[in-house]
Amino acid sequence: MAVVLFSSLMLLSWSKHVFPQLFNQFKYILVNQKFTLSFYQTKMLSHPYFLSMAIISWLNISLFCYLIIPQINPTIKDHFEVTFTYVTFYCGAFLIIKTLLQLILGEIFDNHLIKRFLFSKSSLLSFNSWILYSGSILLIYLLNQNLIIIYSVSLLFLLLYIIGYINILRNYKKYVLSQILYFILYLCALEIAPLVIIISYLKIA
């Protein structure tokens, strides 16, 4: 676990050192879109800074999920092999497939705005993953009140994600309002449905 925590910090330090301007903009992603506007649409998803933040969020999310799954459902080990390798693999597969589906949607409709919307959401997730990082530290080094930590960190993560999501929608409100039906279908199919499926699976297991 210490290796994962250290790797996230090292990658963050590298990103800050190599791209100081982007890092300073990234710190305020909850309140403004300067970070998003710093990228050209053709390179934003393949930029080294974005890729490093994506790797960090993947590690942070995987570690937090690995720590909380046995706490939420102690019997899951009877049906599912809960190792960090497996959890990391499944989290990575989920994030990659979800991203690819949205990119394919953007290519089908030849819509650069969809790609920018995806970039904004992915950046927001990367920023908020540090809340999960902090929660993981508490779960590893504090032996008591695990459920309180889990629910507090999860609620804080969800709250800040919603705030950031609303700010993103404000920037694209003309696009969303003009295609409200497609946006609702997008939310149901690519945002809500995957989470419902995962939660239902964990409960069944």
* pLDDT, tens digit, 9 for 90 and up, residues 88-110: 998 898 888 888 877 777 666 55
CA 12 to each of CA 28, 60, 188: distance values in angstroms, whole numbers, following the listed order: 16, 12, 33
Return the pLDDT at 133: 93
Structure tokens at 30: 């909850």
Return the pLDDT at 155: 94
Q: Which residues of the chain have pLDDT under 50?
A: none
What is the rounded CA–CA span in Å between residue 41 and residue 95? Answer: 21
Structure tokens at 5: 């925590």
Q: In Å, how far from its chain's centre is CA 137?
A: 18
Return the pLDDT at 131: 94
Q: Quick check: helix, strand or coil at residue 43?
A: coil
Q: Cα-atom radius of gyration of the chain, to the nearest Å?
A: 18
Listed residue (127, 149, 126) closest to 136, CA to CA: 149
Structure tokens at 158: 């969800």
CA 177 to each of CA 13, 114, 122, 185: distance values in angstroms, whole numbers, following the listed order: 40, 14, 22, 13
Q: Where are the beta strands (DSSP E) in the chain?
A: none
